[in-house]
Structure 1
Amino acid sequence: MKNIILIICVFAFVKANAQNRQDSTTVYKKRVLETVEVDFLSSYYSQDGDNAAVSGGIGTEELTDVTSAFIISIPLNDDDVLTIDAGVSAYTSASSSNVNPFDDGPADPYQASSGASSSDLWANLTGSYSHSSNDRNTIWSAKLAVSSEYDYFSLGVGGSYTKLFNEKNTEVSISGNVYIDTWNAIYPSELRPFGKEGSGLNNSFFTQNTITGNLNYSPRFNEFNDEGRNSYSLGFSFSQILHKNVQGSLALDLIQQQGLLSTPFQRVYFSDVEDSFIDNFQLADAIERLPDSRFKVAIGGRLNWYLNEILTIRTFYRYYFDDWGINSHTASIALPIKITGKFTLYPSYRIYTQTAADYFRPHEAALSTDEFYTSDYDLSEYSANQFGFGVSYTDIFAKAHLWKFGLKSIDLKFYQYDRDTSFSSNIITAGFKFAMD
């Protein structure tokens, strides 16, 4: 009997200790995010060129944009994180100002107008929630996004599911997003008198301005009946640690768009219609007309190779195609160089090539008998090169402080982008990451 009692006591003691270890593991498991983190991101972007879609493939593409965003990540408990992303972008555009080029002085596609369309403000707010399993091998997330600008409003929902296998050496994920967008269609100023309630050439716009060239100006214009656009995306990714110093990943993205895919204020000029002008500005023969559906596929991969404590090689390639006839290739390489324990340099290079969409026509190359047409050079055939350089400062101990937040990192980057058309752009970005003490 004594032996039986002893065995029972030992069993109870072992079970109690095992339970205590299990409880201890549950209580003291590593949190997904230890503390509140705040990212402040900012950028300054400028571009120029001579193929503005607003003026039918000719004219200035000059534009500047300043963007600021805050990203706040809040740990709700050991497993759950709430992230709030709020951003504002303000731009000034000589190109879009020519939606109405006749409001001050002689109109010219290569000169900016001072109209209301010369600047705009875009605002975005995104909230996302993520949950990680106790073993950190399963992660799911959900998000809600809303954005707005003068002529556009967008509402989006999405989510993702990630699974890690093979002692976290293998990762598989799937994601999906739905965006419901609405245009507030704005048309070129000379076409508005030909709308549903317009009076054509009898409108005061034409009686107060003198038409030269073809005096019987008669554009092909109908307002869009449906101003909605829906976008659906589905993404798959696979990541694998191939070696202690090498990691690779593959990704597949599928996107379906339906609705108003044309930009209402982009002009088109027909080669078989005589030109009409006011001042130096050619009056639109029509606005951009594109199909109401588009299916896109992108397949890509990354390979990152950690050479040593100083140098890492990061490579990327993507092939893209859609049912509008565009095929493109993107390849890039980045070489992070760790020069000290806290500072890293980021030289990079990216090359991009694409074929033209089936509906692209240069200035005055479309025909009035065509069903679809655009003179937007973003849909033309071109190749582009982008050179970048950046520097990053990282302090895992966050010794520098701003109020109750410690500074974890600073990232500064510059990119120069050039197409083999006249288009070029520059962007400077800055990012600051803070963590609450």
Structure 2
Amino acid sequence: MKKLTLAIGLYMGVLLSASAQKTADTSNYQSRKLKVEEINIVSSYYHQDGNNSAVTGGIGTEKLTDFGNTFDIRFSKWDSKARQHFFTFELGVDAYSSASSDKIDPYTISSASMTDKRIYPSLAWSVNNAKKGTTFGAVASYSTEYDYKSYGTGLNFSKTSKDGNREFSAKVNAFFDTWKVILPSELRTIYRADGTYYFYGSGGEHDPYPVDYKPRNSYSSSFSLAQVVNKRMQVLLTVDPAYQAGLLATKYQRVYFTDGTVKSEELPDTRFKLPIGARLNYFAGNKVVIRTFYRYYQDNWGVKAHTFELETPIKMTPFLTLSPYYRYYTQTAADYFAAYGVHKLSDQYYTSDYDLSKLNSNMVGTGIRIMPPHGVFGIQSWASLELRYGHYMRSNGLNSNTITLYAKFK
């Protein structure tokens, strides 16, 4: 609660500062100077609990809490060819605690990975050519936490039809990760073929024994076509193929076999994913919008999944919107999944991570958004404030709750 209070205090300070610096109306003049378009601040709290921790072989607590904050600021600038450039800087910081991660080394009071924080800045640029109806952009990102670092880059392009009713978009991204390979404590004595052995490190800051570092590269793309059908209906079709290569197993996750043997999780070093989705938005009058989404997913690990989402924003007043939503998800199990003590020693790949099990889930929630004409709390530049809550229920007993606060000002 103290962190949330500090975050809200920070929002108020930034917003009041922005309101004081607001300039006169320049709608008839395209300034070539850098201009602040908008600032977005998001603060969220997440808590989950369950009894299928992959760290302890598919049994044990999955209790986890996460407090996250992201801040992004967007600038714009016109060039001499009447093209508008946008520059966006984003900074995210997540702090979490995980009871299951603390079981990597159950013989210590607290292992290094029980609590951690993730920091992930990014910088994006795009240029919009209104005459041609095109937008081109690029993004660079970085992310780091206790056991991994990631560098990302991406390109995007979109083209709008002359009448503005159709848009094609394409995105490609690449992420280059390096994992610190942490093993369960009982598997850190490594025996060589010649009969000798050595001690493998814990990954702790003061541990003199080394650990391995392994790469993992992820390549994703997204292709979409949006179409305005009529004044009330819009549709969007998407295809999002992705490919991963490198260390895809989480080596501190245990797997127990039929004879009681315990090993680290072992999975293929490549994975191809193919999600295909469709979105339909219907404007049912001036006060209600019906948003629906369906996605089919398949990968080469044997997982097939279906997702259905429904959200119905309702304009209670001209300045207040209520947005109840529901999501249903179901998937088949991966070829390499089995529960605690079920895997055979003859298996080439093995995992007891219930994220790869057969499951279905439901998520329900709602959002409340206010957009006062004179700004939130009378601060003209504070454009909107939204609070969202979601409750997640999985068929294997995992439950979670999420509270998110969005603040936008221009």
RMSD across aligned C-alpha pairs, in angstroms?
A: 2.5
Instruction: Tell me the SS of whatever aligns to 2:113.
Output: helix
Distance 2:392 2:377 in 1: 34
Q: Which runs of 5+ in 2 are unaligned?
A: 1-27, 202-209
Counterpart of 1:80, as a letter, is H
Residue in structure 2 matched with residue 384 of structure 1 by the alignment: 361
Instruction: Tell me the SS of whatever aligns to 1:375.
Output: coil
Residue in structure 1 matched with residue 41 of structure 2 by the alignment: 40
Select which of 251, 262, 269 maps to 1:264: 251
> 1:406–1:28: structure 2 CA closer, same or farther, 3 Å change rule?
closer
Residue in structure 2 matched with residue 161 of structure 1 by the alignment: 157
The alignment status of 1:187 with 2:187, answered yes or no, reads no
Residue in structure 1 matched with residue 395 of structure 2 by the alignment: 420
Q: Is 2:125–2:139's contact at 8 Å kept on the other side of the alignment?
A: yes
Deviations 1:137-163 (A, max 9, x none): 100110000000000110000011000
Residue in structure 1 matched with residue 330 of structure 2 by the alignment: 353
Larger Rg: 1
- Moved segments of 4+, more than 4 Å: 27-31, 199-203, 223-226, 399-402
Counterpart of 1:242, as a letter, is V
Q: TM-score, normalised by structure 2?
A: 0.85
Distance 2:403 2:373 in 1: 25
Counterpart of 2:401, as a letter, is N
Instruction: Tell me the SS of whatever aligns to 1:190.
Output: helix
Using the TM superposition, name which of 91-100 and 76-85 deviates more: 76-85
Counterpart of 1:140, as a letter, is F
Residue in structure 2 matched with residue 301 of structure 1 by the alignment: 278
Q: Which runs of 5+ in 1 are unaligned?
A: 1-26, 105-113, 206-222, 276-284
Counterpart of 2:64, as a letter, is L
Q: Is 2:181–2:213's contact at 8 Å kept on the other side of the alignment?
A: no
Residue in structure 1 matched with residue 216 of structure 2 by the alignment: 229
Q: Is 2:31–2:77's contact at 8 Å kept on the other side of the alignment?
A: no
Residue in structure 1 matched with residue 289 of structure 2 by the alignment: 312
Deviations 1:288-319 (A, max 9, x none): 00000000000001000001111110000000
> 1:227–1:390: structure 2 CA closer, same or farther, 3 Å change rule?
same
Residue in structure 2 matched with residue 147 of structure 1 by the alignment: 143
Deviations 1:96-131 (A, max 9, x none): 110111113xxxxxxxxx222211110101100010
Counterpart of 1:253, as a letter, is D
Residue in structure 2 matched with residue 61 of structure 1 by the alignment: 62
Q: Is 2:296–2:304's contact at 8 Å kept on the other side of the alignment?
A: yes
TM-aligned CA deviation for residue 194 of structure 1: 2.6
Residue in structure 1 matched with residue 74 of structure 2 by the alignment: 73
Q: Is 1:169–1:240's contact at 8 Å kept on the other side of the alignment?
A: yes
Residue in structure 2 matched with residue 254 of structure 1 by the alignment: 241
TM-aligned CA deviation for residue 186 of structure 1: 1.0
The alignment status of 1:341 with 2:318, answered yes or no, reads yes
Distance 2:72 2:62 in 1: 31
Select which of 347, 358, 363 maps to 1:370: 347
Residue in structure 2 matched with residue 97 of structure 1 by the alignment: 102
Instruction: Tell me the SS of whatever aligns to 1:347.
Output: strand
Instruction: Tell me the SS of whatever aligns to 1:97.
Output: helix
Percentage of pairs with the same residue? 41
Q: Is 1:226–1:260's contact at 8 Å kept on the other side of the alignment?
A: no
TM-aligned CA deviation for residue 200 of structure 1: 9.1
Counterpart of 1:168, as a letter, is G
The alignment status of 1:330 with 2:307, answered yes or no, reads yes
> 1:146–1:298: structure 2 CA closer, same or farther, 3 Å change rule?
same
> 1:193–1:391: structure 2 CA closer, same or farther, 3 Å change rule?
same
Distance 2:318 2:232 in 1: 19
Distance 2:160 2:238 in 1: 16
Q: TM-score, normalised by structure 1?
A: 0.80
Q: Is 2:133–2:162's contact at 8 Å kept on the other side of the alignment?
A: no
> 1:252–1:378: structure 2 CA closer, same or farther, 3 Å change rule?
same
Distance 1:30 1:354 in 2: 52
TM-aligned CA deviation for residue 233 of structure 1: 1.0
Residue in structure 1 matched with residue 90 of structure 2 by the alignment: 85
Which is richer in strand? 2
Deviations 1:28-80 (A, max 9, x none): 5699x974311010100000000000000000000000000101101133600
